[in-house]
Structure 1
Amino acid sequence: MSGYRHPCSSVKDCVLSLFQLTNETLNIWTHFLPTWFFFWKLLTGMLEMGDIKDPFTWPLLVFLLSCCSAITYSFYTFPEKWVNSTFHTYYVPIAIVNSIISTALACYSRCPHKLKEKLCKRLRIVGFVYPYVFDSIPLFYRIFVCVGEGCTVNEANTFHYWHISLAALTGFLFATHLPERLAPGSFDYIGHSHQLFHVFAIIGTYFQMTAIELDMTVRRQWLHAHLLPITFSNTVGAALLSVISSLCIIYIFSMALFSTRSMKEK
């Protein structure tokens, strides 16, 4: 209800707002600081895993691009029963399309002058939930459905449970706007749902990365023997394509916002 920055702030105003208490300040810092932590953790993890020239370390680079974690899932968290299956073969291309669609939904939901507020909110939620659910289909099967031989039960599963639980919690907070809806105005600066969403998402990402590192360590020899060749095009290349496509979508919607602003000024 309060603490908003001016909608027509200059670049200087935006930079200075990093050090001013607004309802976005903690949102910014809960993105910025963990980014560097995860960057450091991934780099040290890759060094521990082996030579950067080894293709089996390339999927870790995908996390640095922060756009298509499904690619990493496709190599390290698939249950053994699904490795090299038809679903596995087409998993990465579909994941790229999903990344593009989710970015488009997130951007389109930011145009309330064209859409009703409730529809905007639903589109934004779908933009987050839809790619996560698809990316996690192999993991959900491995954790909750698969029984018997080839189900890949190891010490990483505990961390996968934590990651899934925290992902569900972040989705719940994002959709319900708790706790600020219970006490409007009391959590404008500290403690509102979007800040909590960031914090639990960060913790969930930590568990996710830990689980993937464990899967890489424990399953490395088996994957080397059974997995299709890991190439630049189906790991980092695919992630780069997702990044470029998403940036193009963001650029298109940003230009639309700038043109709307100039029209209002005129």
Structure 2
Amino acid sequence: MEEKRRVFPVWRGIGASSAVGWSQGWGRCLRWEPGSQERGSRIPVFDYPVWLLFCRRGRARLREVCQRGRGAIRLPTDLLNLKLPQLFDIHQVPMVFREDSIISGYRHPQSSAMDCVLSSFQMNNETINIWTHFLPTWYFMWRFLALCSTMNFLNDSYTWPLLVYMLLICIYPFTSSCAHTFSSMSAESRHICYFFDYGALSLYSLGCAISYGYYVMPDCWVNSWLHQHFVLIAIGNSLFCTSMSCYSSVSLLLSFQTNSLKTDKRFVELQFPKRSKALRTGAFVVPFIFDTVPLFYRALICFWGGGTPSDALSSHCYHLLFAFLTCFLFTAHLPERLAPGRFDYIGHSHQLFHISAVVGTHFQMEGVVADMMSRRAWLQLHGATPSFLGTIGALAVSVALNLAVIGIFSAPLLWKSRPGSAQQHAHREQ
């Protein structure tokens, strides 16, 4: 009689003698299977029942599997004693980490990088913020790869504005997800993480301007002064957006010494919170208005002139609707302002702001692609051919300039976080 040791139903992975997948019936378990008859040896089936951790009494069952498996399951021993980071209420964290009307679910203000990663799998007030931009990153990557299979981005210069745009709509949600993940490592890290987030958003506004300038520009504006200088002005707007948003973000700097907390209140966000919010909002509204002026004009001509909206224009209008909703959610802090503490984990405005922004970007992408394809013949006949300098070159220059701006604002924070800097500052005050 064939000897089998059955422990618990698991996924059959690579290493089993049969095909990869779920094994049948009660045989869905961890077991040893005989090797070849010539050798007469037994080989382990490398099934990894990590999902047991999420079952009821799953940790105890996983420990039993590890004991009876005799090393066949090669899981880290620390996995059994894994503890998720502790969460705090608003009065337990420094002011710089506090969010308006969010009472609980805060992570430790000096978390390690591993704690930050683990917190993305733990329900806290940043979890959905992380995932609502991390998952859309892969959706936009999938759309980008699909376009790569149908378009010649290397040799067809007409597609270069779309290439720049698709790269940036993949970058900005990923950067935002990373910023929300690692923003609880320290006060300085929080600022620097969001500096990169603001920089990615300002570059996204440049990508919008490049794609709009070549694909969405109204017929009567093609080859006008605005059309010829559209990308150059957008580069300036990108720098303005990054600089102003970083300036409005710099606020409370913290210095932890033993159990005491020292603060430096010479920064904008603490002394003038409303002004800081207005500056940050304006920093993103200005590039948005400039980028969408051609689109507003096309929409007005179509609706007031009695024209029939195209599929591209319909997608653009949906994008504008979600863009206004995004701005409203960012500034209004609803619904958590109506019921503080009720929406700490699910449903607060920043989560809704992320979702609205991603949905709006989806419609914008559909509109840009539709305009690019439907207007290609006319634009190539009447408009200027996209150049390397006006597309990829403009992106490279903007990336360098924005990184320089981020570096300028980050340098004082990095110096402040040095171990000896706090003691030198205290000595000077004495």
TM norm structure 2: 0.58
Seen in structure 2, the aligned counterparts of structure 1 residues 238 and 111 have a Cα distance that, compared at 3 Å, is: same
Residue segments in structure 2 that go unaligned for 5+ positions in a row: 1-102, 170-202, 252-264, 425-430
1:191 to 339, 344, 347: 347
Local SS of the residue matching 1:180: coil
- Give the deviation of 1:201 after TM superposition: 0.6
- Give the deviation of 1:199 after TM superposition: 0.2
2:404 to 248, 254, 262: 248
Seen in structure 2, the aligned counterparts of structure 1 residues 10 and 259 have a Cα distance that, compared at 3 Å, is: farther
Q: Point out the structure with the larger helix share.
A: 1
2:234 partner letter: A
Alpha carbons 2:153, 2:163 under 8 Å: kept: no
Q: Match of 2:127? A: 25
Seen in structure 2, the aligned counterparts of structure 1 residues 152 and 61 have a Cα distance that, compared at 3 Å, is: farther
Q: Tell me the number of residue pairs that the alignment of Structure 1 and Structure 2 aligns.
A: 265
Deviations 1:71-99 (A, max 9, x none): 11101111111111100001100101101
Q: Does 1:135 align with 2:291?
A: yes
Q: Does 1:204 align with 2:360?
A: yes
Q: Does 1:65 align with 2:168?
A: yes
The answer to which of 27-36 and 59-68 deviates more is 59-68
Q: Match of 2:328? A: 172
CA RMSD of aligned residues (A): 2.1
| Distance of 2:408 and 2:110 partners within structure 1 | 19
Q: Match of 2:182? A: none
Q: Does 1:14 align with 2:116?
A: yes
Q: Match of 2:100? A: none
Q: Match of 2:248? A: 109
1:77 to 212, 216, 219: 216
Q: Match of 2:38? A: none
- Give the deviation of 1:227 after TM superposition: 1.3
1:163 partner letter: H
- Give the deviation of 1:220 after TM superposition: 0.8
- Give the deviation of 1:26 after TM superposition: 1.2
| Distance of 1:227 and 1:77 partners within structure 2 | 12
| Distance of 1:155 and 1:96 partners within structure 2 | 29
2:408 partner letter: I
| Distance of 2:388 and 2:379 partners within structure 1 | 17
Local SS of the residue matching 1:163: helix
Alpha carbons 2:320, 2:360 under 8 Å: kept: yes
| Distance of 1:260 and 1:3 partners within structure 2 | 28
Q: Match of 1:4? A: 106
Deviations 1:131-169 (A, max 9, x none): 1111111111111246669x9953211111100000000
1:14 partner letter: C
- Give the deviation of 1:22 after TM superposition: 2.0
The answer to which of 176-185 and 221-230 deviates more is 221-230
| Distance of 1:230 and 1:131 partners within structure 2 | 21
| Distance of 1:235 and 1:219 partners within structure 2 | 18
1:230 to 374, 378, 386: 386
Q: Match of 2:232? A: 93
- Give the deviation of 1:56 after TM superposition: 1.0
The answer to which of 41-50 and 157-166 deviates more is 41-50
Alpha carbons 1:19, 1:25 under 8 Å: kept: yes
- Give the deviation of 1:11 after TM superposition: 2.2
2:224 partner letter: S
Seen in structure 2, the aligned counterparts of structure 1 residues 17 and 54 have a Cα distance that, compared at 3 Å, is: same
| Distance of 1:232 and 1:43 partners within structure 2 | 21
Alpha carbons 1:70, 1:95 under 8 Å: kept: yes
Residue segments in structure 1 that go unaligned for 5+ positions in a row: none
| Distance of 1:225 and 1:53 partners within structure 2 | 19
| Distance of 1:210 and 1:265 partners within structure 2 | 55
Deviations 1:39-63 (A, max 9, x none): 2212312432445310111112212
| Distance of 1:153 and 1:237 partners within structure 2 | 34
Seen in structure 2, the aligned counterparts of structure 1 residues 215 and 152 have a Cα distance that, compared at 3 Å, is: farther
- Give the deviation of 1:265 after TM superposition: 7.2
| Distance of 1:213 and 1:196 partners within structure 2 | 26
Higher relative contact order (CA 8 A, sep 6+): 1
The answer to which of 250-259 and 204-213 deviates more is 250-259
- Give the deviation of 1:218 after TM superposition: 0.7
